[in-house]
Amino acid sequence: MAAQLVLPDEIIVEILSMLPAKSLLRWRSVSKYWLNLISSTKFKLMHLRNFNQQNPRYSVRHLDYLASEEWFSLHFDDEAFTLDRNSHVEFPFNITSVILCFRIIGCCNGVVCLCDENGSGSDMVILWNPSIRRKLTLPLPNFKSIKSSFVVLGFGYDKMSDDYKVVRLAYNDYGFTGPRVEVYAVKTGIWRKVMFPHGWRRFYIHYNWTQVFSNGCVHWIASDSNWSHNSIMTFDITTELFGEIPLPVDLVKEHLTTIMVSLVGESLAVTYYNGLINCLVKGKKMASSTYKIWVMKEYNNPTSWTLIYNMHFPDADMGKPLKLRNKGDMIMESRDGNIIVYNCSGYASCICSGHESGWHCRNYVDKYEESLALLDVGHSVSDEEAMKALMMIG
Amino acid sequence: MSKKTLTLMSKDKQLFNIEEHLAVQSVTIRNMVKEDGASSVIPLPRVDSETLALVIEYLNRQQAPEEDEDYVKKFVDERGEIPTLLELAQAALDLDIKKLMDAACMKVADLIKDFTLEEVREALRIENDRTPEEEKAIRDEFQWAF
């Protein structure tokens, strides 16, 4: 080949945006230009999109706190949900006892938000980016947990300020008064109080809540004071305003524990699961389960709720739904704690074996995104650190 | 009616003929044709003849749209040399053939992902403007990635 000409920036940027985060971390010292490029917000977002579009994967977190068993694994988005053996992720927040373990709140742009789950409430929040092994432990909030309280968290990315934010709702007095709300923004590094709308004083979230971030908003399932009217409560991460989205009519009066907010692909979805086991009907032990998933085809348009998944098992409880993949495969946690993938053709494969009973398991499945987020904040993960911090709180 | 043919000229002045309806997959050529009818020869001063021959081969492919994604992947796979792929990516950039450029860049990314600093500088023709101290600082920060 003739003279080695300098490559156009477009080509360099395009190539780098398709590389794993690990290569990019190393190559920040290739040149000054590369260091600045890889650290820039624009590149980070381009990398997030390009790399993950080409390498779609899922993460599975398995926790069995009675067996002190915990791991975090990555799987390809293929038919068999194949384990990605080349990308080993060390999960740095392992349990030390039954009362000291972490719960995953959610994932956004490759950042995992976790909180401690020590019974009384969640005061400690950690943001963790597994692909660059970075973590940020948030300072303690203003409204600490007390015995009669429970805490609801939400996590998302604010496009406007290019920042990650955690919103925390502290319900005291068993939820009889409205929550006290505060927001933590990574760039400012402090918890800031936010008003909860007055008219909503009696708007409840069940203590067994889940959340998803989508379209710039955090979503939880909530209900009014006498638990008679359910809807989705939203918190806009940019404007920091609360809002409400109506649920599909069928779910408005269902018990809150049967409804979970979720994502199918990029779309907001709600999952209904009603499982019965060992209930006595005419002296016979019976089991059954029903699953329904609605997707909101057009965001914030309640007329676009579409039922896309509807299954009833008249003689078995298949377990708790964890994630519906785009291809229609359902990932479930069985009653005995196994993680099982059911694909459309009825084929089932087991990802992890549980032990007899699943009540002490907490499994989590989500899209895994390789990302450079938190590169300029927080610090490297060391195994002991998280635990030490936890002990101090405990 | 016979199909209209265009002539492309490489950096080293070689001429290549291609049917216009195939050539206009390149946005650059499409715009030229729209502007002046591109009756004469279209010069491509940054693309050498070897690379242009490859681009022409790609543009001449006869694939159903649904097979196209696999075809372009296979096409760049078969030209697995980094310098060839970089030339191809550059030509695709100049000619604005997005799919080909993306595929070539992706293949390069796959080939270099485990390279050392020196190897990647050489492969992508980057001049080292870092001092050993600066290099060490970054290495110390993410030791596990090296």
Put the strands of the sheet holding A190-194 in their side by side order.
Answer: A150-158, A163-171, A180-185, A190-194
For A120, A273, A294, A296, the CA distances from A303, given in Å and listed in that order, are 39, 22, 11, 8
Q: Does A26 touch chain B (CB under 8 A)?
A: yes
Alpha carbons A244 and A300: distance in angstroms, whole number? 9
Contact B138 A380 (CB under 8 A): no
CA-only gyration radius of chain B, Å: 19
Mutate: best of B102, B111, B142, partner A, most A CBs <10 A: B142
pLDDT band at A380 (very low <50, low <70, confident <90, very high): low
State the complex-level ipTM.
0.91
Residue range A15-20: mean pLDDT, rounded: 96
Q: Which residues pair with A340 in a beta bridge?
A: A332, A350
CA-only gyration radius of chain A, Å: 22
pLDDT tens column, A112-123: 999 887 655 568
Contact A162, A144 (CB under 8 A): no
Mutate: best of A29, A39, A86, partner B, most B CBs <10 A: A29
Q: Comparing C-alpha atoms, which of A306, A305, A307, A300 is closest to residue A245?
A: A300
Compare all CA atoms of chain A with the CA of B144 and give the residue at the minimum distance.
A22
Contact A11 B89 (CB under 8 A): yes
pLDDT at A383 over 70: no
Calculate how close chain A gets to B63, using CA atoms only, in Å: 22
Dihedral, A44, A94, A125, A358 alpha carbons, nearest 10: 110
Count of other CB atoms within 10 angstroms of residue B138 = 19
Contact B82, B108 (CB under 8 A): yes
Q: Which of A25-29, A357-361, B135-139 has the highest mean pLDDT?
A: A25-29
pLDDT at A207 over 90: no
Alpha carbons B113 and B120: distance in angstroms, whole number? 9
Residue range A72-87: mean pLDDT, rounded: 88
Residues 6+ away with beta carbon under 8 Å from A37:
A12, A13, A16, A43
Residue range A214-234: mean pLDDT, rounded: 90
- Identify the residue with better confidence: A210 or A93: A210
Residues 103-142 of A with CB under 8 A from B: 132-133
Q: Which of A79-83, A165-169, A327-331 has the highest mean pLDDT?
A: A165-169
Contact B109 A19 (CB under 8 A): yes
- The beta-carbon neighbor of A25 closest among B102, B128, B142 is B142
For A105, A210, A262, B12, the CA distances from A61, given in Å and listed in that order, are 12, 16, 17, 57
pLDDT band at B35 (very low <50, low <70, confident <90, very high): confident
pLDDT band at A384 (very low <50, low <70, confident <90, very high): very low
- pLDDT for A145 equals 74
**What does the DSSP 8-state code read for residue A12?**
H
- pLDDT for A1 equals 41
- The beta-carbon neighbor of A30 closest among B83, B114, B121 is B121
Residues from chain B that touch A14, judged by Cβ atoms under 8 A, are: 89, 101-102, 105
Residues from chain B that touch A34, judged by Cβ atoms under 8 A, are: 126
Contact B86 A35 (CB under 8 A): no
- pLDDT for A99 equals 61
Residues from chain B that touch A20, judged by Cβ atoms under 8 A, are: 113
Alpha carbons A85 and A161: distance in angstroms, whole number? 36
Question: Using CA of residue B125, residue B129, residue B135, residue B138, what is the dihedral sign?
Answer: negative
Residue range A220-228: mean pLDDT, rounded: 84
Q: Does A3 touch chain B (CB under 8 A)?
A: no
Q: Which of A146-160, A245-259, B117-131 has the lowest mean pLDDT?
A: A146-160
- pLDDT for A353 equals 64
Tokens in use for A247?
A: 């649920």
Q: Which of A169-173, A338-342, B137-141 has the lowest mean pLDDT?
A: A169-173
pLDDT at A277 over 90: no
pLDDT tens column, B81-108: 999 999 999 999 999 999 999 999 999 9
- Identify the residue with better confidence: B20 or A109: A109
The residue to which tokens 């929550």 are assigned: A179
Tokens in use for B95?
A: 């000619």
As a whole number, the mean pLDDT across chain A is 85
Contact A25 B145 (CB under 8 A): yes
- Identify the residue with better confidence: B55 or A149: B55
Tokens in use for A221?
A: 């399932």
Share of chain A above pLDDT 70, in %: 86
pLDDT tens column, A47-61: 999 999 999 999 999
- pLDDT for A355 equals 60
- The beta-carbon neighbor of B135 closest among A1, A22, A29 is A29
- Identify the residue with better confidence: A288 or A207: A288
Q: Cα–Cα–Cα angle for A173, A174, A180, nearest 5°?
A: 65
